[in-house]
Structure 1
């Protein structure tokens, strides 16, 4: 079994540097003795001293700062998992979270959601914008496709949509739990600016939200039981679990499993009725 390198940070930097194509950066300069970029070229791209970068590859000069690692990650065009690995090697910890919005999911993840039917399932961002869902979620929870993207936010719907509020068995306790869970998750994702904007909006439009936000409660909410009163199929009880999306720490997938087989059958009947209504709309005269 090969021994671990004595300088894993330097080994990783050197490996990524030699994989880069100089021509892609306008750095042809004729035939090179070694592949990839030179150390001074990486240092220039990262806006740091060539000597300091050389020392990092050689395992000298002490631990780099987070700012230096971020500059090197940009200079080496590291992916997000590679950047996280760079921080673990250099500082012994992952980088601080950097929130990035999401406009959708990969076709593969959408197929996963679709395969979970009749369990409603959706994918949300760290600020709880719903970016993907399956047919069961559209039938039982909300027809997200009929909403503009900026209205597909779980908090906005919880505090401004009378239909969503009426569907909760105990709306106030559900709302309290949702706000406390949102606070923990959004802050962990580094979405401070996005939180401030959403909180300001909801605090002005909903006194209930303003009071719950001032309470400063923080809870984890990875699993639990959800009880709904649906206008077509009546009361239904579901277990829910929240899963991280690999490679996208800012996304979470929520799956609601009907507790009974009778509940699953009622969701199937709801989906069938919804599908029939859509077909009728398509064939109705303009």
Structure 2
């Protein structure tokens, strides 16, 4: 994102975080009638030890530079968690905590072999822009046949919001969709100079759900955990979502869906794998 877009994002981020605070929880008296929820600008400025005009400029997206000390004070007043604090610093024009390498466009033969060794568990490798760079047969059969898509469409975010098959496979898609938007915003904030990422965000805004949730400015890193899944051949079952960073390439993550221990997920997955091999293709 360019400087103008960054300042606008910072302004919206601050307004959203200010609006979610309860004055009583901060210890402020409930004097006067409040036309909008949350703290007033004057209250944030007072608690942060800065001038109201200066803080107003930040919320207006003006070309001003906040010091790191001021940002630390704001993060405490606005009660930001660690992920939100990082986003605040990045949107204020400070470097990401770690240098962000350029997104890779391909993976090594060794990583491809690792994916294939995970069959029949679906797995893929993606970069920080959500581009799907490599996958195994189980991923093609169970999730999405990435190889059948043009390279420009092999993107996890695009398919989450625009792929009807993927939406049918995910019970509770809307809840997951809100979380996915928060994950995308976190990754986008850490990729300030990636113009391809900016173009991806523009494309995603063509989806009504994404366009409705994006302005809420929620940020959240992706995480492991349970993932409900549905497939027409075996019905619903539960996966454990595994996310592993590739040490040699920090911008890459390997993502796999593993059967949950103590359930019949492994048996169902083996049944599906056998069905796939009997069919002799990966296009279920």
Q: What TM-score comes out, normalization by structure 2 length?
A: 0.61
The structure whose Rg is larger is: 1
Give the paired residue count.
187
Selected match of 1:125 from 101, 105, 127: 127
Selected match of 1:200 from 194, 199, 202: 202
Q: Secondary structure at the match of 1:275?
A: helix
The Cα of 1:185 is off from its aligned counterpart by: 2.3
Q: Secondary structure at the match of 2:250?
A: strand
For 1:236 and 1:140, locate their aligned partners in 2 and report how far apart those are by CA, in whole Å. 12
95 and 162 in structure 1: CA distance in 2 versus 1, 3 angstrom threshold: closer
What CA deviation, in whole Å up to 9, does each residue of 1:140-198 have, x standing for no partner? 21121222221111111111111111111101111111111122124324454222101
214 and 280 in structure 1: CA distance in 2 versus 1, 3 angstrom threshold: closer
Contact 1:158/1:164 (<8 A) preserved: yes
For 1:116 and 1:201, locate their aligned partners in 2 and report how far apart those are by CA, in whole Å. 32
Q: Give the unaligned 5+ runs of structure 1.
A: 1-92, 282-286
What CA deviation, in whole Å up to 9, does each residue of 1:62-95 have, x standing for no partner? xxxxxxxxxxxxxxxxxxxxxxxxxxxxxxx986
For 1:117 and 1:254, locate their aligned partners in 2 and report how far apart those are by CA, in whole Å. 13
For 2:193 and 2:267, locate their aligned partners in 1 and report how far apart those are by CA, in whole Å. 39
For 2:213 and 2:139, locate their aligned partners in 1 and report how far apart those are by CA, in whole Å. 27
Contact 1:99/1:190 (<8 A) preserved: no
Q: Give the unaligned 5+ runs of structure 2.
A: 1-95
Contact 1:245/1:251 (<8 A) preserved: yes
Q: What TM-score comes out, normalization by structure 1 length?
A: 0.60
Q: Quote the residue 1:252 is aligned against.
A: 253
Contact 1:135/1:271 (<8 A) preserved: no
For 1:242 and 1:163, locate their aligned partners in 2 and report how far apart those are by CA, in whole Å. 23
Contact 1:127/1:191 (<8 A) preserved: no
For 2:122 and 2:112, locate their aligned partners in 1 and report how far apart those are by CA, in whole Å. 13
For 1:239 and 1:209, locate their aligned partners in 2 and report how far apart those are by CA, in whole Å. 25
Counterpart mapping for 1:226-237 below 5 A: 226-237=227-238
For 2:145 and 2:233, locate their aligned partners in 1 and report how far apart those are by CA, in whole Å. 14
For 1:147 and 1:211, locate their aligned partners in 2 and report how far apart those are by CA, in whole Å. 27
Q: Which has the higher contact order (CA 8 A, sep 6+)?
A: 2
280 and 253 in structure 1: CA distance in 2 versus 1, 3 angstrom threshold: closer
Q: Secondary structure at the match of 1:253?
A: strand
What CA deviation, in whole Å up to 9, does each residue of 1:186-228 have, x standing for no partner? 4324454222101111212x11011111111111222111101
What CA deviation, in whole Å up to 9, does each residue of 1:239-276 have, x standing for no partner? 11211112211111112111146212222222222222
The Cα of 1:280 is off from its aligned counterpart by: 11
Selected match of 1:183 from 185, 191, 194: 185
Counterpart mapping for 1:45-124 below 5 A: 96-102=99-105, 104-124=106-126
97 and 276 in structure 1: CA distance in 2 versus 1, 3 angstrom threshold: same
Q: Quote the residue 2:154 is aligned against.
A: 152
For 2:281 and 2:121, locate their aligned partners in 1 and report how far apart those are by CA, in whole Å. 23
For 2:248 and 2:185, locate their aligned partners in 1 and report how far apart those are by CA, in whole Å. 22
Q: Secondary structure at the match of 1:214?
A: helix
For 1:170 and 1:100, locate their aligned partners in 2 and report how far apart those are by CA, in whole Å. 30
Q: Secondary structure at the match of 1:265?
A: helix
